[in-house]
Copies of this chain bind each other. A is one copy, B any other.
Amino acid sequence: MKRDSRLSSVLHALLHMAEQDGPLTSEALAQCMHTNPVVVRRTMGLLRDVGIVHSAKGHTGGWTIAADLKTVTLRQLHEALGEPAVFAIGNRNETPECLVEQSVNSVLDDAFSEAEALLLRRFENVTLADLAAEFARRHAQWRTERTLS
Protein backbone atom coordinates (compact mmCIF):
# COMPACT_ATOMS: atom_id res chain seq x y z
CA MET A 1 0.00 0.00 0.00
CA LYS A 2 1.01 3.52 -0.51
CA ARG A 3 1.47 5.26 2.80
CA ASP A 4 -0.91 8.06 3.79
CA SER A 5 1.21 11.22 3.90
CA ARG A 6 -1.57 13.74 4.43
CA LEU A 7 -0.60 14.57 7.99
CA SER A 8 2.89 15.37 6.82
CA SER A 9 1.40 17.40 3.97
CA VAL A 10 -0.90 19.56 6.02
CA LEU A 11 1.85 20.27 8.52
CA HIS A 12 4.04 21.48 5.71
CA ALA A 13 1.26 23.67 4.38
CA LEU A 14 0.37 25.03 7.80
CA LEU A 15 3.99 25.98 8.50
CA HIS A 16 4.06 27.92 5.26
CA MET A 17 0.83 29.66 6.10
CA ALA A 18 2.07 30.50 9.56
CA GLU A 19 5.07 32.31 8.10
CA GLN A 20 2.96 34.26 5.65
CA ASP A 21 0.72 37.25 6.17
CA GLY A 22 -1.91 37.03 3.48
CA PRO A 23 -3.67 33.95 2.17
CA LEU A 24 -1.88 31.29 0.15
CA THR A 25 -3.54 29.78 -2.89
CA SER A 26 -3.87 26.04 -3.48
CA GLU A 27 -1.73 26.61 -6.54
CA ALA A 28 1.10 28.12 -4.51
CA LEU A 29 0.97 25.41 -1.84
CA ALA A 30 0.80 22.68 -4.45
CA GLN A 31 3.82 24.03 -6.26
CA CYS A 32 5.84 24.30 -3.08
CA MET A 33 5.13 20.73 -2.05
CA HIS A 34 5.29 19.31 -5.56
CA THR A 35 1.74 18.15 -5.84
CA ASN A 36 -1.56 19.12 -7.38
CA PRO A 37 -3.82 22.03 -6.32
CA VAL A 38 -6.85 19.77 -6.21
CA VAL A 39 -5.11 17.47 -3.75
CA VAL A 40 -4.36 20.50 -1.60
CA ARG A 41 -8.00 21.60 -1.66
CA ARG A 42 -9.22 18.14 -0.83
CA THR A 43 -6.91 17.77 2.12
CA MET A 44 -7.10 21.33 3.45
CA GLY A 45 -10.86 21.17 3.05
CA LEU A 46 -10.94 18.65 5.89
CA LEU A 47 -9.13 21.13 8.12
CA ARG A 48 -11.53 23.88 7.13
CA ASP A 49 -14.44 21.63 8.09
CA VAL A 50 -13.21 21.69 11.68
CA GLY A 51 -12.27 25.37 11.67
CA ILE A 52 -8.51 25.10 11.71
CA VAL A 53 -8.10 26.99 8.46
CA HIS A 54 -10.26 29.30 6.39
CA SER A 55 -10.64 29.41 2.64
CA ALA A 56 -11.80 32.26 0.41
CA LYS A 57 -12.72 32.24 -3.23
CA GLY A 58 -11.99 34.76 -5.95
CA HIS A 59 -9.33 37.43 -6.21
CA THR A 60 -7.12 37.68 -3.12
CA GLY A 61 -8.60 34.37 -2.01
CA GLY A 62 -6.75 31.33 -0.72
CA TRP A 63 -6.03 29.62 2.56
CA THR A 64 -5.34 31.20 5.94
CA ILE A 65 -4.89 29.79 9.42
CA ALA A 66 -8.00 30.30 11.52
CA ALA A 67 -6.80 29.06 14.89
CA ASP A 68 -4.14 29.80 17.47
CA LEU A 69 -1.01 27.84 16.67
CA LYS A 70 -0.62 27.01 20.33
CA THR A 71 -3.98 25.25 20.53
CA VAL A 72 -3.82 23.04 17.46
CA THR A 73 -2.32 19.61 18.16
CA LEU A 74 -1.20 16.88 15.81
CA ARG A 75 -3.96 14.76 17.31
CA GLN A 76 -6.59 17.26 16.17
CA LEU A 77 -5.14 17.26 12.68
CA HIS A 78 -5.11 13.46 12.63
CA GLU A 79 -8.76 13.49 13.64
CA ALA A 80 -9.62 16.15 11.09
CA LEU A 81 -8.16 13.89 8.42
CA GLY A 82 -10.62 11.20 9.46
CA GLU A 83 -8.39 9.22 11.81
CA PRO A 84 -6.89 7.11 9.06
CA ALA A 85 -5.54 3.67 9.92
CA VAL A 86 -2.24 4.03 11.74
CA PHE A 87 -0.80 0.58 11.04
CA ALA A 88 0.26 -1.10 7.84
CA ILE A 89 0.10 -4.46 9.62
CA GLY A 90 -3.18 -6.00 10.58
CA ASN A 91 -5.31 -9.02 11.09
CA ARG A 92 -6.22 -11.31 8.30
CA ASN A 93 -9.90 -11.21 9.23
CA GLU A 94 -11.30 -8.63 11.64
CA THR A 95 -14.40 -10.59 12.68
CA PRO A 96 -13.51 -14.27 12.65
CA GLU A 97 -15.77 -16.97 13.98
CA CYS A 98 -12.88 -19.33 14.44
CA LEU A 99 -11.36 -19.38 17.93
CA VAL A 100 -7.84 -19.68 16.59
CA GLU A 101 -8.17 -16.45 14.67
CA GLN A 102 -9.92 -14.79 17.58
CA SER A 103 -6.99 -15.65 19.83
CA VAL A 104 -4.47 -14.33 17.33
CA ASN A 105 -6.45 -11.15 16.76
CA SER A 106 -6.87 -10.55 20.45
CA VAL A 107 -3.16 -10.79 21.19
CA LEU A 108 -2.16 -8.64 18.22
CA ASP A 109 -4.89 -6.07 18.84
CA ASP A 110 -3.68 -5.62 22.39
CA ALA A 111 -0.22 -4.75 21.21
CA PHE A 112 -1.40 -2.49 18.41
CA SER A 113 -3.87 -0.67 20.64
CA GLU A 114 -1.16 0.14 23.14
CA ALA A 115 1.16 1.44 20.47
CA GLU A 116 -1.59 3.49 18.89
CA ALA A 117 -2.57 4.97 22.23
CA LEU A 118 1.02 6.01 22.83
CA LEU A 119 1.22 7.58 19.40
CA LEU A 120 -1.97 9.56 19.93
CA ARG A 121 -0.76 10.74 23.32
CA ARG A 122 2.37 11.99 21.65
CA PHE A 123 0.26 13.69 19.00
CA GLU A 124 -1.70 15.46 21.72
CA ASN A 125 1.46 16.94 23.12
CA VAL A 126 2.71 18.56 19.95
CA THR A 127 1.15 21.81 18.76
CA LEU A 128 1.66 23.79 15.60
CA ALA A 129 3.52 26.32 17.73
CA ASP A 130 5.97 23.60 18.77
CA LEU A 131 6.47 22.72 15.16
CA ALA A 132 7.02 26.34 14.20
CA ALA A 133 9.59 26.59 16.99
CA GLU A 134 11.37 23.50 15.72
CA PHE A 135 11.50 25.09 12.31
CA ALA A 136 12.82 28.37 13.72
CA ARG A 137 15.52 26.45 15.54
CA ARG A 138 16.63 24.68 12.39
CA HIS A 139 16.45 27.87 10.40
CA ALA A 140 18.67 29.71 12.85
CA GLN A 141 21.18 26.89 12.86
CA TRP A 142 21.22 26.84 9.09
CA ARG A 143 21.98 30.55 8.99
CA THR A 144 24.81 30.10 11.44
CA GLU A 145 26.34 27.30 9.41
CA ARG A 146 26.06 29.31 6.23
CA THR A 147 27.78 32.29 7.80
CA LEU A 148 30.62 30.20 9.14
CA SER A 149 31.45 28.54 5.87
**A92 and B5 contacting across the interface, CB-CB below 8 Å:** yes
- Give the contact-size bracket for chain A: 35 or more
Number of copies: 2
Interface residues of A in 111-149 (CB under 8 A from B): 111-112, 114-116, 118-119, 122-123, 126, 130-131, 134-135, 138-139, 142
Q: Does A74 contact B (CB under 8 A)?
A: yes
**B1 and A88 contacting across the interface, CB-CB below 8 Å:** yes
Q: B residues within 8 A CB of A123?
A: 111
Beyond A92-B8, A92-B9, A99-B139, whether A114 also contacts B107 by CB under 8 A is: no
Of A84, A88, A106, most buried by chain B (CB within 10 Å of CB) is A88
